[in-house]
Amino acid sequence: MSSPTFSSPATIFMFFCFFFINLPFSNSLLKSPLINASARRAPRQLSVNYYAKSCPQVESLVGSVTSNMFKEAPASGPATIRLFFHDCFVEGCDGSILISSKAGSKELAEKDAEDNKDIAKEAFEGINKAKAIVESKCPGVVSCADILAIATRNFVHLVGGPYYEVKKGRWDGKLSKASRVHQNLPQSNSTVDQLLKLFSSKGLTSEDLVVLSGAHTIGFAHCKQFVNRIYNYKGTKKPDPYMDPRLFKALKMSCPQFGGNVDIVAPFDVTTPFSFDNAYYGNLEAKLGLLASDQALSLDPRTKPLVQELAKDKHKFFQAFADAMEKMGGIGVKRGRKHGEFRKDCTMHHM
User: What's the pLDDT tens digit per position in 304-334?
Assistant: 999 999 999 999 999 999 999 999 999 999 9
pTM of the model: 0.88
Q: How many CB atoms lie within 10 A of CB 67?
A: 13
- Burial of residue 147 (CB within 10 Å: 0-12, 13-18, 19+) is buried
Interatomic CA distance for residues 341 and 333, integer angstroms: 12
Rounded to the nearest angstrom, the gap between the alpha carbon of residue 278 and the centroid of all alpha carbons in its chain is 15
Which residues pair with residue 334 across a beta bridge?
171
Which residues sit in the known binding site? 87, 90, 92, 94, 96, 110, 186, 216-217, 269, 272, 277
Read off the pLDDT band of 21 (50, 70, 90).
Answer: very low
End-to-end CA distance of the chain: 33
Which residues sit in the known binding site for Ca(2+)? 87, 90, 92, 94, 96, 110, 217, 269, 272, 277
Q: How many CB atoms lie within 10 A of CB 203?
A: 13
| Closest to 153 in 3D by CA, of 328, 342, 3 | 328
Interatomic CA distance for residues 53 and 40, integer angstroms: 27
Which residues sit in the known binding site for substrate? 186
| Closest to 312 in 3D by CA, of 281, 266, 347 | 281
Q: Which one of 86, 157, 222, 350 is the catalytic residue?
A: 86
Interatomic CA distance for residues 337 and 174, integer angstroms: 10
> By three-state DSSP, how is residue 127 classified?
helix
Rounded to the nearest angstrom, the gap between the alpha carbon of residue 147 and the centroid of all alpha carbons in its chain is 16
Amino acid 12: pLDDT? 47
322: left (phi over 0), alpha (psi -120 to 50) or beta: alpha
Interatomic CA distance for residues 159 and 7, integer angstroms: 16
Orientation of helix 245-254 relative to helix 9-21, angle to 10°: 150
The yes-or-no answer on residue 315 being catalytic is no
Which residues sit in the known binding site for heme b? 216
Read off the pLDDT band of 301 (50, 70, 90).
Answer: very high
132 contacts: CB under 8 Å, gap ≥ 6 = none
Amino acid 140: pLDDT? 95
Amino acid 36: pLDDT? 36
Task: Please state, rounded to an integer, the average pLDDT across all residues of the chain.
Answer: 88
| Closest to 42 in 3D by CA, of 88, 1, 87 | 88
